[in-house]
Structure 1
Amino acid sequence: MDTCNIVENIYLLAIITALSVFQNVFFALKLDKECTSDNTRPTAIERVSCANRNCMDSYPTFIAVMWCAGVCLNQAPAAFAGLLYLIVRHKYFIGYMGQTSQSTPGYLFGKRILIFLALMCLVGVLNYLLMRFFGSDYRETVETFTSAASALLLIP
C-alpha cells in the first residue's frame, strides 16, 4: 500500500483533528484572556476554566472514537460526526460562559455524537472479525447504513 493511498483513506480525519487542535488553542486563549483581564469577575474565570476542563476531559475519547470509526469503517461519516462534535463543543463552551443551563443542549448533543462514533467503532471491529474468522464481509452494507445514519445526527 503506497503512501498516497493511505493518505486518501484518512485525510478527512486528519483535517478534523487539525481543526480540533485549533479549537483547543482558542479555548486556551479564551481562558488566558479571562485570567489576565483586570475587570473579570471570579465567577467568569471559574466558568471559563470549568468549560475548558470539561472539553479537555472528553477530548481523548472524541479523538479515539473518531479515528477508530474512520479507519475501521468509513472516514466520511466519522469526519462528518467529528465536525458536528466540534461545532457542538464550541456551542457548549460558549454556553457555559453565560449560564450553565445554556450549555446543556451542547452537552447532550455531544454525548449523542460520541455514542454514534463508538457504535461505528464497534460495528467496524465486529465486521473485521466476521470477515477474518467467518469470511462474511458486510462492509458495504454497514457503510451505507452509517452514511445514512450520520444524517440523522442533525435532528435535535
Structure 2
Amino acid sequence: MDYVVEHIYLLVIVTLISVLQNVFFALKVEKECNIKHTHTPAFERVSCANRNCIDTYPTFMAVMWCAGLCLNQAPAAFAGIIYLGVRHKYFVGYMGQTCQSTPGYLFGKRILGFLILMCMVGIFNYLLSPYFGSNYKEYLETITGAASALLLIP
C-alpha cells in the first residue's frame, strides 16, 4: 500500500486543491446569483466562466493522472498546480471582461498539451519496451522534469 501512495500523493494533493477551487467557483456563482437578479451581465459572465472551467475539468484530471501514472508524478503535479493557477486567472479575468481571460485560456491549452505529450510518451515507452529490450523511463523522467520548468515561460 505504501508503494502505491508514494507514487500518487502529489497527484492526490493537486486533485484536492482542484476540488476546493471548483467549490470556490461555485460559491462565486451562487453569491452573484443571490446578490442580484439572475440575468445581469455580471452573473452571465461568472456563470459562463464557471461552465467553461467545468467543461475542461475532466480533460485536465484525466491527462494529469495519466501523465503522473505513466511517466512521472512530479512534473505532472507541477503542471497541474500551474494549470490551477491559470484556470483561476481565467475565471477572474472572465469576471471583468472576456478579453482579459484570453491569456489564461491560451496558457491553459499549452499546459494541457504538455500533459497530453507526457501521457503519450509514457504509454509509448511502456508499449515499446518489450520490442527494444530496455526501458527509457529514467531518461524520459529527466527530460520531462526539465521541460516542466519551461511551462513557466509566458
Superposition TM-score tier, normalisation by shorter sequence: over 0.9
Structure 1 segments unaligned to the other structure (5+ residues): none
Alignment map for 1:133-148 (pairs within 5 Å) = 133-148=131-146
Q: Quick one: which amino acid aligns to residue 58 of structure 2?
A: P
Match of 1:24 in 2: 22
* Residue among 90, 93, 101 paired with 2:91: 93
Partners of 1:88 and 1:20 lie apart in 2 by 12
What do residues 38-76 of structure 1 show as CA deviations (whole Å, max 9, x unaligned)? 378710000000000000000000000000000000000
Identity between Structure 1 and Structure 2 (%) = 72
- What TM-score comes out, normalization by structure 2 length? 0.97
Give, as a single letter, the amino acid of the residue that structure 1 aligns with 2:134. S
- Among 77, 80, 86, the residue aligned to 1:79: 77
Structure 2 gaps, min length 5: none
Identify the match of residue 48 of structure 2 among 50, 55, 63.
Answer: 50
- Aligned counterparts of 1:47 and 1:135: Cα–Cα separation in 2: 54
TM-score where L is the length of structure 1: 0.96
Secondary structure in structure 2 of the residue aligned to 1:137: coil
Q: Which amino acid aligns with 2:80?
A: G
What RMSD, in angstroms, separates the aligned Cα atoms of the two structures?
A: 1.2
